[in-house]
Copies of this chain bind each other. A is one copy, B any other.
Amino acid sequence: MPARSVAKAALSSDALCCDPLTEAPLSPGEADDLAQVLAALADPVRLRLLSIVAAQGEACSCNLEVPLGKSQPTISHHTRVLSEAGLIVGDRRGKWIWWRIVPDRLATLRRLLGGR
């Protein structure tokens, strides 16, 4: 089985390339892009989802309902938001979709938050 990816990219791939926000004023467009990714992170359920996936390296949607205490449509909604923000990617293997985090995305975020 070829393990097809189900990742979706809603944000233009070349977004989030600007300087850290502590370096120079953000343009409205840059601020919109960054706010969209931060909004994907700014939810307790999605943060816990992300931390579970990261801690396990990989997690299946069906294994997230119980620890997060949310219904299946809600889990599907949150994985969708996170994947559209580029923070996680999913591989369908058989009936299951296995999610893992995108380290580069978090690194980009950390850079934009002003380090260095």
- Chain A positions near chain B (C-beta within 8 angstroms): 21-26, 28, 31-32, 34-35, 38-39, 41-45, 47-48, 50-52, 54-55, 67, 101, 103, 106-107, 109-110, 113-115
Contacts and interface: CB of A to CB of B under 8 A. Distances in A.
B52 A25 contact: yes
Looking at chain A's contact residues, the main secondary structure is helix
A41 B31 CA distance: 10
A45 B32 CA distance: 9
Contact of A48 (B26, B48, B51, B55): B26
A67 B22 CA distance: 17
A33 B59 CA distance: 24
Contacts of A26: 47-48, 51
